[in-house]
Amino acid sequence: MIYLISFSPGAEISVMDQRALTTFDVRDSIGVITIDNPPQNRLTDPVFIDPDLIQRCSDDDGVRGIIFAGRGRHFSAGADMDSMRLIASDERRFMARLNAGKALLDSIEALPIPTVAAIEGACFGGGLEIALACHIRVCARNALFAFPEVNHGLMPGMGGTVRLPGFIGFGKSLEAVLSGDIIDAERALEIGLADHVTPAKEALPFSLSLMKKMVADRPVEVIRSIVRSLNNGRTMTASEAMEEETRMFCRLAGKLNG
């Protein structure tokens, strides 16, 4: 299989998944997954990257963070409509692929290492759903966000309506999804859809710098414990998350004099 590779800190590794039209490389212990289907980086399948790669990154201490980006001018303009119609012709198969795509985004969201979406240009539909599954969104001033599915008689199908309210609230989410309107970078920052805005063509360099600031020289176990604890705050009850935080803190503290 294409992803039978071993990571090591500082390694420069590059592979390509021809089926999913994505590339992956490691830069100073930071993985970069690039949607590589120009000019608009449309998604030909809900499973846009091999799930095994995400699992390997989760398990391997040689990768301390992952950045998602798009090749060229755009992050991703969403689903390729011709490919979607072909898959949708078989309803059972279509539902299975959508569920697999949702599971992939869930695994990205649950990663025990930081994830950043570095967004240039269009971030529409499925592309926006990928960005929402990341922990942090960095966008260039030329970035544009939208769920345009309503204009095709559709709705987001890979968790967009579930994740969006957690960032911008129910009312703004309802307006954005039902109108299909485009949100520019400054508005995205204002309402909480984006975390940082950079000059054009600087989203990826800024994301790499931000990631290095967060993970460089940090023990891997500390990185993973912090990310897991923050994720627990979203997926567990408050008491369960508190208990897990205490357990992880004590485990780390017990190693200070080791």
pLDDT, tens digit, 9 for 90 and up, residues 27-56: 999 999 999 999 999 999 999 999 999 999
Catalytic residue among 91, 149, 243, 244: 149
Model pLDDT for residues 191-222, shown as the tens digit of each residue: 999 999 999 999 999 999 999 999 998 999 99
Is 129 annotated in the active site? yes
Catalytic residue among 12, 91, 109, 129: 129
Q: In which band, very low, low, confident or very high, does the pLDDT at 14 lie, cut at 50, 70 and 90?
A: very low
Instruction: Clarify whether residues 224 and 157 are in a common domain.
Output: no
Instruction: Clarify whether residues 18 and 83 are in a common domain.
Output: yes
Residue 5: inside a domain:
no
Is 243 annotated in the active site? no
Q: In which band, very low, low, confident or very high, does the pLDDT at 10 lie, cut at 50, 70 and 90?
A: very low
Instruction: Clarify whether residues 158 and 232 are in a common domain.
Output: no
Q: In which band, very low, low, confident or very high, does the pLDDT at 87 lie, cut at 50, 70 and 90?
A: confident
How far is it, in rounded angstroms, from Cα 188 to Cα 111? 24
User: In 3D, which of 146, 137, 145 has the Cα closest to residue 203?
Assistant: 137
Instruction: Clarify whether residues 55 and 175 are in a common domain.
Output: yes
When the pLDDT of each residue in the chain is averaged and rounded to a whole number, the result is: 91
- DSSP class of 64: -
Instruction: Clarify whether residues 105 and 72 are in a common domain.
Output: yes
Instruction: Clarify whether residues 207 and 225 are in a common domain.
Output: no
Instruction: Clarify whether residues 143 and 238 are in a common domain.
Output: no
Strand ranges for the chain from DSSP E: 13-17, 22-27, 30-35, 65-70, 115-119, 122-124, 136-140, 144-146, 183-184, 196-198
How far is it, in rounded angstroms, from Cα 208 to Cα 138? 10
Residue 1: inside a domain:
no
Model pLDDT for residues 184-194, shown as the tens digit of each residue: 999 999 999 99
Q: Which domain holds residue 116?
A: 13-215
pLDDT at 171 over 50: yes
Q: In which band, very low, low, confident or very high, does the pLDDT at 84 lie, cut at 50, 70 and 90?
A: confident
Q: Residue type at 139?
A: C
Residue 176: inside a domain:
yes
Residue 258: inside a domain:
no
Considering only CA atoms, give the Rg of the chain.
18
